[in-house]
Structure 1
Amino acid sequence: MNTIYDIQQLLKKFGTIIYVGDRIATLELMEEEVKELYQSQLIETKEFQTAIMLLRHEIRMLKDQKSD
Structure 2
Amino acid sequence: MDKMLDIYELLKTYGTYIYTRDPIGDLMLMEDEIRELYKANVLDIKDYQMALLLIRQETTRLQMKENQ
Q: Which TM bucket (shorter chain)?
A: over 0.9
- What residue in structure 2 maps to residue 16 of structure 1? 16
**Unaligned runs of at least 5 residues, structure 1:** none
Q: For residues 13 and 25 of structure 2, what CA distance do their matches in structure 1 show?
A: 21
RMSD (Å), alpha carbons = 0.6
Name the aligned partner's letter for residue 2 of structure 1: D
Residue 63, structure 1, aligned to residue 63, structure 2: yes
Q: Please report how far the alpha carbon of residue 65 of structure 1 lies from its aligned counterpart in structure 2 after TM superposition.
A: 1.3
Name the aligned partner's letter for residue 47 of structure 2: E
**TM-score, normalising length from structure 2?**
0.95
**Unaligned runs of at least 5 residues, structure 2:** none
Q: Please report how far the alpha carbon of residue 27 of structure 1 lies from its aligned counterpart in structure 2 after TM superposition.
A: 0.9
Count residues in correspondence: 68
Q: For residues 41 and 18 of structure 1, what CA distance do their matches in structure 2 show?
A: 21
